[in-house]
Amino acid sequence: MITLHRRHHDMTDTVHTADDTQTNTFARGALAVLRIGFGLTFLWAFFDKLLALGFHTGYDQAGNLDRYGDAAWINGGSPTEGFLKFGADGPFQSFYNDIAGAAWADWLFMLGLLGIGAALTFGIGMRFAAAAGALLYVLMWSVVLPPENNPVIDDHLLGAVTLVVLAAFSAGDTWGLGRVWARTRVVRDNPILR
């Protein structure tokens, strides 16, 4: 099926085929799945560090599983200390070692995980979430330089680029609340919140 649209101002023809519509629908769906997947990844990291669920957080120093134990942020554990103190390597090692376990770093990290995860999962605030998420990914990339498997790029940088692409294509509008969010007065007055 071919549909012709004639523009009145310049009289050029635009041709849209059924294949274009199917491709666009598939692409929007694929971006929505990618958005939700990234959102749930950020939310999972938040809850794992908050409660020490035992998937990355929740092991004691002997390597024994200690769910909901001392490693949980709600029980006084630090979500930044382990990785920044013992995992940092490269030119920024001393900087990351110095901020490891600092209350402000823990709060910023956890609020970032929660905010980015919720925004991506629900498709709201995509621009802000993409910028914050990309920054967080680049900072995490810079903790261990050079990356272990490639001298330049790793999954953190690919994640940062992916978040920018998701925001650029308004991925929150498909299977999310992006369109509803965009119609709110606060977002219309502050497009950065889109």
Q: Is the peptide bond before 79 cis (omega within 30 degrees of 0)?
A: no
Total domains in the fold of the chain: 1
In a domain, 9, yes or no: no
Q: What is the DSSP letter of 69?
A: S
Residue-number span of the structural domain to which 122 is assigned: 31-193
What is the percent of the chain where pLDDT is above 90? 74
**Cα–Cα separations (whole angstroms), residue 190 to 11, 68, 117:** 36, 40, 21
In a domain, 74, yes or no: yes
In a domain, 15, yes or no: no
In a domain, 23, yes or no: no
Q: What is the pLDDT of residues 79-129, one digit of tens each?
A: 999 899 999 999 999 999 999 999 999 999 999 999 999 999 999 999 999
Q: What is the pLDDT of residues 35-84, one digit of tens each?
A: 999 999 999 999 999 999 887 776 766 777 777 788 899 999 999 998 99
